Every structure is written in C-alpha cells, then in structure tokens.
Amino acid sequence: MAGALVMFLALPWPIHAQSGAILEVGKFSAAAEGSALPNGWKPLTFKKIERHTVYKVVKDGDTVAVKAVSEAASSGLTREITINPKEYPIVQWRWKVANVFKKGDVSKKEGDDYPARIYITFAYDSSKVSFFKKAAYEAAKLAYGQYPPIGAINYIWESKAPKGTMVPNTYAEEVKMIVVESGTAGLNQWMTEERNIYEDYKKAFGEEPPLISGIAIMTDTDNTGESATAYYGDIVFKKVP
C-alpha cells in the first residue's frame, strides 16, 4: 500500500471523551443491514490509490458485520476516539477471512497487503520525540490543524509470517505490524481475537504508550494486485477484570 500508511499517520484525530467498563468502539452488530457506514465510522481513502475497497453492513448467517471486498484496491473505515490504554488495555474483536494472498509478505513493500487488519493510532506526545521530530510535528499541525499520531500498531492476518511476529512496517517505521493470524488455518470461520494493546505498545516501542487517538479496519490488495473478502465483527476495549 505504497505510502498509504504514512498518509494515514498524517490525518488529524479529534478528541472524543469515553467512559465505562467496556468501550464499544465498533458496534457493527447493531448497524443497519445494507448500510455502507456503521455509526461513528467514516471512509479512509488515499489520494494516489484510485480503486477502493468496498465496505458494507451485511448479515452473515446470524451475525451482522461489516463486509469488505477488495480487488487490487485499498481503503478503510476509521473512527476517531480517545482511549487511555493503561485504563482499557484489552482490545477484542471478531473477524472472518475468505482467503490469503500468494504474494503477501509483511517483510516486503510489494507484499504489504492484508485481507484484514485492525489499525490503532496513538496521539502525539512531545515528551516522546526528538527536537527535530518536534519541528516536523509542528509543521504538520500548521498544515492539518492538529498534531498527527505519534505511531500505530496494526493487528494483521498475514499470509506467511508466524503468529506473534512483530516487525516495523516497510513504509513507515512508526507503524508496527503484529501477526495475529497467519495462513489458511481458520479461513471462512469467525475468529475472536484479544490483545493487550498496552503491553504490545511497550514491547513494540520500548516505552509507555500515549493515548489512543483512532482505530481503523482495513482490507487492502493494491500492492499484490490480488483480491480479498473479509468480515469484521464488533470491536471493544476493556478494563482488566
């Protein structure tokens, strides 16, 4: 997805206060079947990528979910939200994938496509960057009206890399890729995933995380030129019991 991850890091993220024991950031099961956008979510597209993944709320058996169909395309759905990952460290979601890619490879730019990913961004914190990066963030604020995120974690369904693999994205070192599912095992089945985003951030970046500033779902096939179909179920953040 040439340059798209870098562009996503440059998007502004307004602040929305949240409270409660469980934060339902993606209540897709309550969305209206047939609609393109679940409540609170908006499209994420990239200027240099003309073909877009198609998202739609559908009923898959007894499950209402967001269906993504991508054919040599890329785009996502995003929600702007502020979450303290120390207070809500557990992110849980459901997804189902119909296929993986022959050319998919998290270690190569030309293989940087995933049938499904959960993309979580973190807010800019001036105490965590160098003097020169501060200047870059100030310039971005002038251009966009707000500071861009300081980094991101992608939870991905990869083609070949083993589960648990954590590597920098090939286009943007500020984006860390974590393989949650890999290969054909589990295809065409609803899978429930749970990660400790607080611990994952500390492992990925070697420091305490700032606030979460946004979340996205994305199915992209523009680098490999292949096709994918995926389903996204509800996404929640939870406190540790």
Structural domains of the chain in order of their starting residue, each with its CATH number:
4-238 (2.60.120.260)
pLDDT tens column, 33-53: 998 899 899 998 888 888 999
Task: Tokens 């499950």: give the residue.
Answer: 63
Integer Cα distance of 98 and 152 in angstroms: 26
- Distance CA(232)–CA(25), nearest Å, equals 13
Which residues touch 132 (CB under 8 Å, ≥6 apart)? none
Q: Report whether pLDDT(17) > 50.
A: no
What's residue 150's pLDDT?
58
pLDDT at 88: 97
Between 42-46, 53-57, 213-217, the lowest mean confidence (pLDDT) is in 42-46
Residue 20 pLDDT grade (very low, low, confident, very high; cuts 50, 70, 90): confident
Cα 74–110–233 angle (5° rounding)? Answer: 40
pLDDT score at 47: 83
Query: Is residue 138 scored above 60 in pLDDT?
Result: no
pLDDT recorded at residue 18: 52
Q: What is the pTM of this model?
A: 0.86
Beta bridge partners of 152: 121, 175
Q: Which of these ranges, 49-53, 89-93, 229-233, has the smallest mean pLDDT?
A: 49-53
Give 134 or 159, the one with higher predicted confidence: 159
The pLDDT > 90 percentage for the chain reads 72
Closest CA to 188 of 138, 126, 117, 115: 115
What is the model's pLDDT at position 125? 55
CB 29 within 8 A of CB 63: yes
At residue 128, the pLDDT reads: 58
> How far is the first Cα of the chain from the last one, in angstroms, to the nearest whole number?
38
| Of residues 131 and 205, more confidently modeled | 205
Look at the alpha carbons of 83, 70, 42, 56 in this order and tell me if their dihedral is positive or negative. Answer: negative
The pLDDT score that the predictor gives to residue 4 is: 44
Look at residue 208 and tell me whether its pLDDT is greater than 70: yes
14 class by beta-carbon count within 10 Å (0-12 exposed, 13-18 middle, 19+ buried): exposed
